[in-house]
Amino acid sequence: MKETMRPRYEARAKILKAMAHPSRLMMIEELQKQERCVNELTEMIGADTSTVSKHLSVLKNAGLVTDEKRANCVYYSLRCACVMDFIGCVEDVLAARSADHQKIMKSCKK
């Protein structure tokens, strides 16, 4: 790999690593619908506030979400809705993999 390209791949990997947790994927999906207060996300996920805050910090440090403090709550929103296009692509891969698996299972039954 060219050294000039390494920072680009490292930056991409940081974003993908930030997304690589079920709770964070759920948060991204919810934030795509509308901004949410930490308390709302905590209730949705069913974890304690410190855990949810840590997940949100990972997403924020990767540049995926922004935050805004209002009164007694911090509200988070998705920075770039296009991240949902990537998640849609992941869903397509899962569907294709499932179809392949079903074909294999059918051939085993013969």
The reply to whether 13 and 56 lie within a common domain is: yes
Give the residue, 76 or 99, on which the prediction is more confident: 76
Is there a single domain that holds both residue 85 and residue 53?
no
pLDDT tens, residue by residue, 5-62: 999 999 999 999 999 999 999 999 999 999 999 999 999 999 999 999 999 999 999 9
If asked whether residues 59 and 91 sit together in one domain, one would say no
- Answer yes or no: is pLDDT of 110 > 70: no
Tokens linked to 92: 């397509």
Band (pLDDT 50/70/90 cuts) for residue 104 is confident
In whole angstroms, what separates CA 98 from the centre of its chain? 21
Contact criterion met (CB below 8 Å) for 58 and 18:
yes
Instruction: Give the residue with greater pLDDT, 72 vs 104.
Output: 72
Q: How many CA atoms lie less than 13 Å away from 68 in the CB half-sphere?
A: 6
67 and 22 part of one domain: yes
Residue range(s) defining the domain that contains residue 74: 1-79
CA 109, chain centre distance (Å): 37
Q: Is 80 helix (H, G, I), strand (E, B) or coil?
A: coil
Q: State how many domains the chain has.
A: 2
Question: Quick one: pLDDT at residue 16?
Answer: 96
